[in-house]
Homo-oligomer: A and B are copies of this chain.
Amino acid sequence: MKLTERRKKMLAFIAEFVEENNYPPSIRDIGAACDISSTSVVKYNLTKLEQYKLIRREKEVSRGLSLDWARLQEEGLADGLAGAPSTHQDGNGSAFSFFQVPVLGYIAAGEPIQVETTDHSNADEWLELNETLYRNPDQLYALRVQGDSMIDASVLDGDIVILRHQERAENGEMVAAWIDTQNETTLKHFFLEGDQVRLRPANPSYPEMFLPAAEVSVKGKVVSVIRQLE
């Protein structure tokens, strides 16, 4: 969208003002900041900006205006503005640059343990991550690794693995696999071989598991490993 210098300046000022004061500027505030002597000129341009749907305005309400960050970002106008959310924001224009991932519990890297990965309600802990690192954060969840069966893949006991929820996996990927007959989820390398699934630990002292494909369902793929050393 093409915007006059003046209107850009107005947007910038509004953003800055809200960032600074937590409430929107009045028409005269804007005028003073943008070297517009007449209130009506401010109103005129505000109306334009509202027509472009870059701002919202409540008639006859003092300071009744707000920026529409979603639109501003669509139009690539959010960059220079103060307090611009990096990617997301809630309905109010408040900036949220992080998201939360539920830590659902422990996952076996030795013996399988029971984990229900689809139920986020009983998450006892939440990890906050940044979306510059991850896409589709709503599909993510985290598990604490228990056991050392993935040690050769450099996943240690106590590490946190972040998984993307998905039902299918490529051969060789590290996945959380639900084993039907045992009511358990385990962390293994995944290989589909005909109608058999091979779940391979990354530690020679643990055995591989061969199971009918029907008895194994992939609960998610490991997309990240985080280790805290202190």
Which residues of A are at the interface with B, using a C-beta cutoff of 8 A?
18-24, 26, 56, 58, 61-66, 83, 85-87, 90-98, 100, 127-130, 132-133, 151, 154-156, 164, 174, 221-230
Number of copies: 2
Q: Are B226 and A222 in contact (CB under 8 A)?
A: no
Residues of B within 8 A of A224 (CB): 226-229
A127's contact among B62, B83, B133, by CB below 8 Å, is which? Answer: B133
- Given A224-B228, A226-B225, A20-B92 contact (CB < 8 Å): yes
* List of B residues within 8 angstroms of A222 by Cβ: 229
**Residue contact B26 to A62, C-beta cutoff 8 Å:** yes
Q: Which residue of B lies closest to A125 (CB)?
A: B132
Q: How far is the CA of A191 from the CA of B59 in the complex (A)?
A: 68
Q: Which residues of B contact A58 (CB under 8 A)?
A: 21, 23
Instruction: Determine whether the beta carbon of A92 is less than 8 Å from that of B227.
Output: no
Which residues of chain B come closer than 8 Å to A23, judged between CB atoms? Answer: 23-24, 58, 61, 63-66
A129-B127 in contact given A63-B23, A98-B98 (Cβ < 8 Å)? no
